[in-house]
Amino acid sequence: MTEELLSDDEARAVLYKILALYPDARGELQWDSKFHLLCAVMLSAQTTDKMVNRVMPSFSKMFPTPVDLAKAPIEQIEREIKTIGLFRSKAKHLKATAEILVDKYDSQIPEDKKTLMTLPGVGEKTANVVLAEGFGIPAIAVDTHVSRISKKFHIVDEKATPHEVEKRLESLLPKDQWVKTHHAMILFGRYTMPARAKGDPYSYLNSEK
């Protein structure tokens, strides 16, 4: 039997409780330029921000600009990120993306979602993070935490795609709360109600961090 979805007001109440737990929520990836933000988010797929943060200082020093990354041998890029999951495919995507940035965009990061999503290895979640963090453009990036929490609380259907989760959350909140709520949901899923959490999800809304 399918669980009934929350009404808009009920769903907003859940989101605001999560936001209240993490009112100062922000991204945990470390970056020093929009280019390195893009690289860090690409590297973060199916791995932790902590793992990415361990390699980014050396990576950023080795490849300060898209030109440096585009010119680098693929083996050198792999060596820099070898502790990251899927490092070989990520290295290919990073190099290919850097080449496109140099050739088509004068080494600048596009400030447009559809354009960002044409870059190798850049999906909707990555594009949204870059827009929100790098450009201050309201966006909700749906990672595994955001998707899982939205489904656990029946804000969306269990079979909802990341895009459907994104659109549902956007419809519930004013634009100026999108980025903060997205970060709060990630921290809530990471530290308060992780995937292994048991029992009534509502009990975690009253948890101490």
Instruction: State the alpha helices, DSSP H only, in 25-177.
Output: 34-43, 49-62, 66-71, 74-80, 87-105, 113-116, 124-129, 135, 144-152, 162-172
Residues assigned a catalytic role: 125, 143
Tokens representing 30 are 């470390």
Under DSSP, the state recorded for 123 is: -
Q: 21 with 184: CB under 8 angstroms?
A: yes
Longest Cα–Cα distance of the chain, Å, equals 55
d(CA 20, CA 125): 24
